[in-house]
Amino acid sequence: KKIILFKKEGTVMAKVVTADEAIKLIPDGATVLIVPMPSEEVYPAFARVYEKTGHPKDLTVVWAAGLGPLNEEPKGMNHFAVPGMVKRIICGHAGLNHKILKFIASNQVEAYNLPQGTMCQLYREIAAGRPGLLTTVGLGTFIDPRYGGGKVNERTKNCEDLSEIVVIDGKEYIFYKAFKCDVGIIRGTSADPYGNITVEREALIMEILEGAMAVKNSGGFVIAQVEKLRDKPAKPYEVKVPGVFVDYIVVASSPEAHPQTLFVQYDPSFCGEVHADLEKELPIMPLNFEKVIARRAFLELKPGMVINLGFGIPMGVARVAYEEGLFEKIKMTTEIGVIGGVPETGKNFGPAKNPEAFISQSAMFDFYDGGGLDITCVGMAQVDEEGNVNVSKVGSIAIGPGGFINLTQSAKKLVFCGEFSAKG
């Protein structure tokens, strides 16, 4: 049953619908902007509706950060590895979604990788009606239109460029072109009677506002998955996406369809509901090669530094800093918008225990790109004798750069952490 939540002077602000009803509204050939949070009520509906009806088809699906189970399970972005349903993928990272990796490698889809932070920032340009984003991020890398423009498989080589080189006062920039967004998929904790979206139980807020605004100002519609509906209006300071940017609301049918992360159903220390006792919850890291590397990277940290840690071995640096008593004198951040706390390690990378603040991913990359980051510790897949580093593509597998390019082209100091023994 569709329920009109709010109506004033003939204007319908938002409707509650099922996930299948929402997906049936998407036209063929649409560009779908997904803010990648674990919306496991809405995402599965795409393939389910397509299998039943043959629509929507020929979609362009856009996401920035990766969200996936690190295997081929039907979770996260793996839901979109459907031939015919999806024609093109534009993403910052795909490595956590093994079905997507095979989908791209087998040339079943057109595929572009762009820097994760640049994509989030581009959403704001789209929302503001500007022609695109001008930045130095990506120069000299495979994202540079002179070196491939982020096209990551054979099928995409003859497709149009999504960026171009611009010279201003003798300095080169990459201009990432704006594009029209037809549908937006976002997520929050609750929706109030006005359709306002709150995030009180979320581990991250990502770029839900920027994504919703980009879609609405492109003339599209926004679908928001929430855990529950509120009977009374939310307090203004609780609202992260105002109802004027939301068209349809899908309420999760079970807790499993609305997990806090793909690997944790709910941890109250991720959202500040409780303050975790870190001494009890963080076991001492075993002394293995990963800890040796993390300890060496830790020696580069100094009190007062603002720090970013990448996926993989670098995540151990936070644990070593905590063990060594430096943690209270530095500030850890993650590119997806978490400030303070102890970043999660392993598959659950992204949230942090006892975070101090959340900002949008777009705002965090503004801070990084502007030079605010003192040091980043990142991983590596390949390094040559000249110090060139590859993290984005191994053979035919297009992992994507994630935030790596933004981070390494802006941080004051770079520490690369790896074991130099690929595949054992």
Q: How far is CA 102 from the centre of its chain?
A: 20
Active-site residue 110, yes or no?
no
Q: Is the pLDDT of residue 6 over 60?
A: no
Better pLDDT: 136 or 343: 136
The C-alpha atoms of residue 85 and residue 60 are separated, in whole angstroms, by 9
| Residue 176, strand partner residues | 133, 163
Higher pLDDT, 385 or 197: 197
Q: Flag whether pLDDT at 143 surpasses 70.
A: yes
Mean pLDDT, the chain, integer: 94
* Separation between Cα atoms, residue 414 and residue 421, nearest integer Å: 21
> Residues 227, 290, 335, 344: which is the catalytic one?
335
How confident is the model at residue 12, as a pLDDT?
45
Burial of 131 (0-12, 13-18, 19+ CB in 10 A): exposed
Q: Above 80 in pLDDT, residue 421?
A: no
At 259-289, the pLDDT tens digits run 999 999 999 999 999 999 998 888 899 999 9
Q: At a CB cut-off of 8 Å and minimum separation 6, what does 259 contact?
A: 38, 40, 265, 266
- What is the arithmetic mean of pLDDT over 205-209? 97
DSSP letter at 284 equals P
Residues 166 and 179 sit within 8 Å (Cβ to Cβ): no
Close Cβ partners of 145 (under 8 Å, ≥ 6 residues apart): 161, 163, 164, 165, 174
Q: Can you tell me whether residue 407 is helix, strand or coil? A: helix
Statement: residue 251 has pLDDT above 80: yes
Confidence of residue 11 (pLDDT cuts 50, 70, 90): very low
Spatial distance between the Cα atoms of 80 and 78, rounded to a whole number of angstroms: 5
pTM listed for this prediction? 0.94
Range 87-105 average pLDDT = 97
Burial of 244 (0-12, 13-18, 19+ CB in 10 A): middle
Q: Which stretch of 48-57, 176-185, 188-197, 309-318 has the lowest confidence by average pLDDT?
A: 309-318
pLDDT digits (tens, 9 = 90+) for 387-415: 899 999 888 889 999 999 999 999 999 99
Q: What is the per-residue pLDDT for 422?
A: 61
pLDDT at 166: 98
Is residue 9 over pLDDT 60? no
CB-based contacts of 406, cutoff 8 Å, min separation 6: 115, 116, 117, 118, 137, 335, 365, 368, 369
